Amino acid sequence: MRTGIHFEDGQVYTCYMDEQSTIEQEPVRMQKPWTHYVAEAVAEKGVQGEKIGIVMDGMTPEVMKEAADLEKHLGFTAHGLKLYTKEEALVGLVKVQNNQLDRGNTVIFDYNQSGLCFYQIQKYNGKIRIEKKDYTSEISGAVTKSEKDQAFLKIIKNALAKGVTVTVYLCGTGFDGQWFQDSVKTLCLGRRVFMGKHLFACGAAYLAGEEVFSESREEALILTETMTICQIGLTLHHHGRDVFYPLMKEGRPWFESKGEIEIFVSGINRLNLELRNKSGIKQAMVCFPLTGMTKDKDVVYQLKIEGEYISPDKCKIKIADLGFGEIRPTTFQVWQQVICLERGDFRE
């Protein structure tokens, strides 16, 4: 049994999936912490030991810790409870729906209390490419049903102007009320159009049961604000040549992106951290002073370097002196620095 649970706008959307069927539960109002509803799903369907995928707004390192604690409390195996961004869940959606991306794009209009967002999913150089655009300002001024209908019609024409779109999904409470009479006629011209509120839950349920999601991640190119935008690492001299060692990779959800490496250095009192794109092209360099270190080639330092994102555009780097065995004890020095990243266009 695979289970997907999507939390948004105070609602809980739950999807159960096995090899024979997919069951979408009626949405319920969220009145307790999110962990309660996950525990409830385990108790109700007996999915303990299986896989549960979670999608929610505002993923943070704190939520990650809550998930890890809940996983232990429920007796799940390692990674039995998995957190996904909406974009990652959409990778699962196109797989479970068997969308033929070779024939054309799949798009999602996601309209909820926070606004209207558009996701475009297409094949790009053999990968699943997902891009996001916010159309909230274009529809927020519309009050009557007719005004919303005409505003959405303009958004459709703009969003679908490029490329061939064959499948459209309308998702979210914003589409309640059947106000999109004229716009939906344009939307349906030569396209398959579906409505649903469990799209992200279904995608998460599918991915939760995939043991090879890490490979699916490598197959996807997600260009949105929830993902890390560059590799951060060091170029080190190894066996006679310079080699780039990534501390943190590009294209990961920022709230779970972290890494650490240990290196031996001598004759330096600073490190140069490199920011590279997924192709390995250097985009920028950040100088990291190591004040207090002796710049002597005969003095060897073992350094532990840790990196962790604290927001989508900020990364904290921590370097600690571990000493050098019995030859040189640690000085207990610790250096920290926050790197601010400019996100830009998200495009390669």
β-strand partners of 232? 248, 275
Tell me the C-alpha distance between 276 and 279, whole Å.
Answer: 8
Report the predicted TM-score, pTM, of the whole model to 2 decimal places: 0.77
Q: Which two tokens stand for residue 60?
A: 């943070």
> Which residues, other chains included, contact 224 with Cβ-Cβ below 8 Å and sequence gap of 6+?
85, 87, 130, 131, 132, 346
Element housing 204 (H / E): helix 199-208
Cα gap 14→197, rounded to integer Å: 10
Per-residue tokens: 120: 């475009």
HSE-up of residue 14 (Cα within 13 Å, Cβ side)? 21
231-340: which CATH topology? Substrate Binding Domain Of DNAk; Chain A, domain 1 (2.60.34)
| N-term to C-term CA, the chain | 38
Kindly report the CATH class assigned to 2-84+202-212.
alpha beta
User: What is the largest distance, in Å, between two alpha-carbon atoms of the chain?
Assistant: 78
Determine contact, residues 290/277, Cβ cutoff 8 Å.
no
Look at phi and psi of residue 178 and say left if phi exceeds 0, alpha if psi is from -120 to 50, else beta.
left
CA distance 204 to 15: 9
Structure confidence at residue 345 (pLDDT): 42
Question: What percent of the chain is predicted at pLDDT more than 90?
Answer: 53
Cα–Cα distance, 290 to 55 (Å, whole number)? 40
* pLDDT at 180 > cutoff 50: yes
CATH 2.60.34 segments of the chain: 231-340
Quote the CA–CA distance of 189 and 233 in Å, as a whole number: 48
Q: How far apart are CA 298 and CA 324, in angstroms?
A: 12
pLDDT at 216: 52
Give the tens place of pLDDT for each residue, 142-178. Answer: 999 999 999 999 999 999 998 999 999 999 999 998 8
Distance separating alpha carbons of residues 122 and 106, to the nearest angstrom: 7
Q: What is the mean pLDDT of residues 246-250?
A: 90
Q: Where in the chain is the domain with CATH 3.30.420.40?
A: 88-198
Tens digits of per-residue pLDDT, 33-90? 999 999 988 887 665 557 899 998 777 778 888 998 998 888 887 678 889 999 999 9
Rounded to an integer, what distance in angstroms lies between the CA atom of residue 20 and that of residue 201?
Answer: 17
pLDDT tens digit string along 119-140? 999 988 788 889 999 999 999 9
* 88-198: in CATH 3.40.50.150: no
Return the axis-axis angle of helices 86-96 and 199-208, rounded to nearest 10°.
Answer: 80
pLDDT digits (tens, 9 = 90+) for 265-313: 888 889 999 999 877 888 899 999 999 888 888 888 899 999 999 888 8
66, two tokens: 């809550």
